[in-house]
Amino acid sequence: MTDKVVVITGGSRGIGRAAALAAAARGFRVVVGYASNEAAAKEVVAQIEGKNGKAIAVKCDVGSEADILALFKAADEFGTLGALVNNAGILGKSGVRVDEMSAERIQQMMAVNVTGSILCAREAVKRMSTRHGGKGGVIVNLSSVAARLGAPNTYVDYAASKGAIDSFTIGLGYEVAGEGIRVAGIRPGLIDTEIHAAGGEPDRAHRLAHLVPMKRVGSAEEIANAIVWLISDEASYVTSAILDVSGGR
C-alpha cells in the first residue's frame, strides 16, 4: 500500500478507468485525467471515494501543453507524485490507407499519442527524479501490439505513434534509471473498450478475436492488472521494458 499520487491520463473510460480503480484499491491517491467526458471522470472518482479511496478528476486534453501543466499542478496540490500512467490515446478512422491520409489527421495523432505522452513524462520526471530532489517513481506508457503489427490498411499512423512510444519507453528508461525512476510500456492486444467505436468499428475487437491465440478479446481490467503491477514495488527491477498483454497476439 502507498499514499502516493498516481496521475492517469484518460482515466475516465476504458483501460484508464480500470487502472484508476485498481490503483485506488492499492492505496494510491488517483488523479483521473479526462478530455471531455466529465461525467465519466466524476463517476470514477465517486466509485473510488465510495470505497474510502482518494481521487480527483482533472480536465486535461494531452494535446494541450497548458492542460498538461494544469494537470500536474493539481496533482502537486493532491500529494507527492509517485507514478504516471500515460494512457490517453486516440485512433483515427479505421481503414484509411496512408496514401489517403490528411496531414491534420497525422498531426493530431502524433500530438495526442506521442507529444502528449512525452510532455506528461517531462512533468513527471521533474517531480520524481532524484536529480531534481524527488523521491523516485514509475512511468507506464500505453503502447499497442499495433506497434509490432503495423496495422496496414487499418491505421498505420496509430501504429507508428505507438512505435514511437516503444522507443520513448526504452530511451527514457535508460535516461532516468539512475535517478530512481522506472519506465515501462504495455502493448495491449484487442481490448474490449469504446476506442474501437471511435475508429468507426465498434465490433472490431470481437470480430478479430479469432486471430488471437487465446481466441478471445481482453478486458480493461486485465490491462489494469499489469499497470498496477508495474507501478508497484513488486516490479522494482523492471525498467525500459515493454510487456505484451495480448493473449499471445
Residues that bind ligand NAP (CB under 6 A): 9-10, 12-16, 33-37, 40, 60-63, 87-90, 112, 142, 144, 188, 190-191, 193-195, 198, 205
Closest CA to 101 of 142, 55, 153: 153
Q: In the complex, what is the shortest distance from the CB of residue 47 to ligand NAP, in angstroms, rounded to a whole number?
A: 14
State the DSSP H helix or E strand holding residue 29, giving kind and residue range, or none if neither. strand 29-34
Residue 4 Cβ, how far from ligand NAP at the closest point, in Å? 22
Residues near 33 by beta carbon (within 8 Å), at least 6 away in sequence: 7, 8, 9, 10, 11, 12, 16, 41, 58, 59, 60, 62, 71, 88
Separation CA 128–CA 148 (nearest Å):
30
237 carries an active-site annotation: no
Cα 153 to chain centroid, rounded: 25
- The catalytic position among 155, 158, 174, 237 is 158
CB of 244 to ligand NAP, least distance (A): 10
Nearest to 188 by CA among 120, 109, 242: 242
Q: Which residues does 233 contact at the CB level (< 8 Å), separation at least 6?
A: none
Report the residue number, 9 or 239, with the smaller CB distance to ligand NAP: 9
Least Å distance between CB 28 and ligand NAP?
Answer: 17
- Beta carbon of residue 73, minimum distance to ligand NAP (angstroms, whole number): 16
Residue 77: exposure state from Cβ atoms within 10 A (0-12, 13-18, ≥19): exposed
Q: 135: which 3 cell numbers?
A: 523521491
Active-site residue set:
158
